[in-house]
Amino acid sequence: MELTTVWFALITLLWAGYFLLEGFDFGVGVLLPVLGRDNRERRLIINTIGPVWDGNEVWLVVAGGATFAAFPEWYATLFSGFFLPLLFILIALIIRGVSFEYRGKRDDERWRRRWDWCIFGGSLVPAVLWGVAFGNIVRGVPLDAGHEYIGGFFNLLNPYALLGGLTTLVLFALHGAVFIALKTDGEMRERAGKLAATLSVPAIVIAAGFLLWTGVAHFDAIGVIIFVVAALALIGAAAATRLRREGWAFLATALTLVLAVAGLFVTLFPNVMPALDPANSLTVDNASSTPYTLKVMTWVAVAFTPLVVAYQGWTYWVFRKRLTIDRIPA
């Protein structure tokens, strides 16, 4: 197997890991004003992701860095053509991170509520725009012969990409509701479980529509098989939420997100940035770094990736216990 294919697969894995881990962070943030009736309940919800949210964002940094090093042409075209959406995502992530730290700096309810809404907005914007971005990557964008993006911002807001944004939003919200039910106990666990069961219905409908559109418009046999398994996993998540089996529900929503990302990348391959004119598309071959660069990066990845994964797994193990409202002081 060529190193360009290996690194395409590794970048797929990094994005799948990011959607899996940061996905429930976004879902928790979006559901904060829905499930949190007062300050103690909102603190309980935030505490479910408190020890892990910043570590989950590392997957985005690594995915961006890997893309820059392995496929610099892809990185340049993506970050120049999608400048505004990615800027909005970056600003939202900054606001969200600041909000987690600042909401408790003053003993004032209005102060905390403002930062809670910032957490909501800082989670909602990336949850939608990541779907829009990946929808456009799979669909194809206007590129010239020099692989420069020649469209405008509103070219990115096409029906297929907007459906992709709605899909990631509902999937992340469902993933977040299941995670809250998994990490809490008592009344919050019950409410989050009921909300997850409710969200599973629109999630199935919207995700099925997006995956069906993708399979028909950009047919790839292996990609379609992966999408079918992802759909079955989502149906399994819906059943598990109704049975109040939070562990199985979380495993199913996690599998849904990982398989959905994998299916999109399989459908994309060997392109990394398809153009509306196929002659101008970026592929794993014409967008990649030199073979020597890829070889050095491969050895670095082999050495350090297991350490990073092991450390993050240890973090989740340490903070594995359920949280209860009685442990949140008034």
Decide which of 152 and 126 is more confident: 126
Per-residue pLDDT band at 54 (split at 50, 70, 90): confident
**DSSP bridge partners of 283:** 271
Provide the pLDDT for residue 305: 84
pTM, 2 dp? 0.94
Give tens-digit pLDDT for 223-235.
999 999 999 999 9
pLDDT of residue 20: 95
At 301, is the pLDDT very low, low, confident or very high (cuts 50, 70, 90)? confident
Q: Is the pLDDT of residue 198 over 70?
A: yes
Residue 127 has what pLDDT? 96
DSSP string, 218-259: T--HHHHHHHHHHHHHHHHHHHHHHTT-HHHHHHHHHHHHHH
Give the three-state DSSP class for 203: helix
79: Cβ contacts below 8 Å, ≥ 6 apart: 86
What percentage of residues in the chain have a pLDDT greater than 70?
100
- Write out the two tokens for 224: 């379609």
Hey, what amino acid is at 117? W
DSSP at 326: G
Q: In this predicted structure, what is the pLDDT of residue 181?
A: 95
Task: Determine the average pLDDT of the residues in 237-251.
Answer: 94
Q: Which pLDDT belongs to residue 1?
A: 59
* pLDDT of res. 163: 96
Sequence spans of domains, the chain: 3-318
Three-state DSSP state, 52:
coil
Question: How does pLDDT run across 142-177, given as a tens digit for each residue?
Answer: 999 888 888 888 889 999 999 999 999 999 999 999
At residue 329, does pLDDT exceed 80?
no
Q: What is the Cα gyration radius of the chain? A: 20
CATH superfamily of domain region 3-318: Formate dehydrogenase/DMSO reductase domain (1.20.1630.10)
The reported pLDDT for the residue numbered 303 is 86
20-36 residue pLDDT tens: 999 999 999 999 999 98
DSSP 8-state assignment for residue 155? G
* 17 has a pLDDT exceeding 70: yes
pLDDT at residue 330, as a whole number = 72
Task: Inform me whether the pLDDT recorded for 87 exceeds 90.
Answer: yes
Mean pLDDT over each residue of the chain, to the nearest integer: 92
Residue 229, number of CB atoms within 10 A of its CB: 16
Q: Which pLDDT score is estimated for 306? A: 87
Percentage of the residues of the chain whose pLDDT score is greater than 90: 71
Q: Bridge partners of 180? A: none
